Amino acid sequence: MQYLQYIKPAITADTSTLSAANLAGRRIEAGAFSHSQWLRLCYIERQLLWERRLTTTMLMETFGISRPQAQKDIKLYQRLAPKATKPYQLGIPYHQPTEGFEPVLLSGEDLQWQSIENYAPPSAGHATEIPMLKRRHNLPVLARLLSAIEHQRSIEAVIATMSSPKGRGRRLTPTAVAFVNNRYHVRAFCWDHMGYRDFLIGRFMSNPKVVKAPRSVKDWGENAPAFERCNGVPPEVDTEWKQMIELELKPNPHLSDEQQSLIVSDYELDQGGAWKRITLRKPLIGYFLVDNRIPSSKVEYDVAVQDNPKAWPVFAYITYSNRPAHEVGFKSD
């Protein structure tokens, strides 16, 4: 996964002239900085977004720069995004993002997670690249959800789903974010369904707003809604998210021996005489199957067995059993 997408240069003024006022309402762009400084500023924002902390040492070790240069970069970022970091707090040896932190450098079109460099596809005449369909992302929503998880907040937002394509209000207590191929999901306790569900972040139609649990439900009586009755704390632990399941990957046994050998080579399924294995959280198994063209339902499994095994070259089983992985299932919304 890539972490930042470059934006066509637009701001060319000296960085000393950039202020919160003249940057309001527009994304800060790479053309305003040297290439190396732009990477460091984006790294600062990456740390605040994902790690929820930033130290001078992180910058020094990642980019091989001096402490004065790292401190200078942090101060520059704080001028560009004055509402991004909390004021210095005695006893906390790192910079923290504010609860309302939103990125001003990173692009929402390609929400990158790990790397801090963006490489263009090859442009030689003998090489080409097939484009991937991109899912819509919402970077401000992602930032607010990560903040809600960090501070253990519940939120309200209008969210579209396949069952409610126009969107409807939901009250959620988010607990984790997962990146699945080209899209982000938030794992949350849904107070409508009274259970943990997955929601596509790109389908949030409004920015999440923090909902504070009431201090008392006496005025509600016996008719108190679940959120108020539980004081905003999910009544159950997300045991499925904590459950790690190991899968064993094999070629479709309904292919010929020669075809199976080819699939083993294609997907590097032979791991020193044993089948390739992968460990996932239980709710993420369904996504893994779909994105890797592995039967993710009984219907697909039956087709792969009886009708068209070539279209489903790899099967996944729960390790130490013949149970197909699709039987584990997952819930999404």
* Rounded distance between C-alpha atoms, residue 264 and residue 68, angstroms: 52
| Structure confidence at residue 85 (pLDDT) | 95
Token couple for 138 = 């919402």
* Rounded distance between C-alpha atoms, residue 50 and residue 115, angstroms: 12
* Rounded distance between C-alpha atoms, residue 296 and residue 9, angstroms: 44
Q: Quick check: 219 pLDDT over 70? A: no
Can you tell me the mean pLDDT for 67-92? Answer: 94
Q: Which tens digits make up the pLDDT trace of 132-168?
A: 788 888 889 999 999 999 999 999 999 999 989 999 9
Domain positions in the chain: 1-123, 139-238, 243-327
| Structure confidence at residue 10 (pLDDT) | 29
pTM recorded for the entire structure: 0.79
Q: Which residues neighbour 77 within 8 Å (Cβ) at sequence distance 6 or greater? A: 41, 44, 45, 84
CA of residue 221 relative to chain centroid, distance:
40
Q: Which tens digits make up the pLDDT trace of 18-67?
A: 443 334 334 566 667 888 899 899 999 989 998 899 999 999 999 999 99
Q: Quick check: 121 pLDDT over 60? A: no
Token couple for 308 = 């068209």
Token couple for 19 = 């202020």
Q: Are 306 and 286 in contact (CB under 8 A)?
A: no
In Å, the largest CA–CA distance within the chain is 73
Phi-psi region of 210 (alpha: psi -120 to 50; beta: other; left: phi over 0): beta
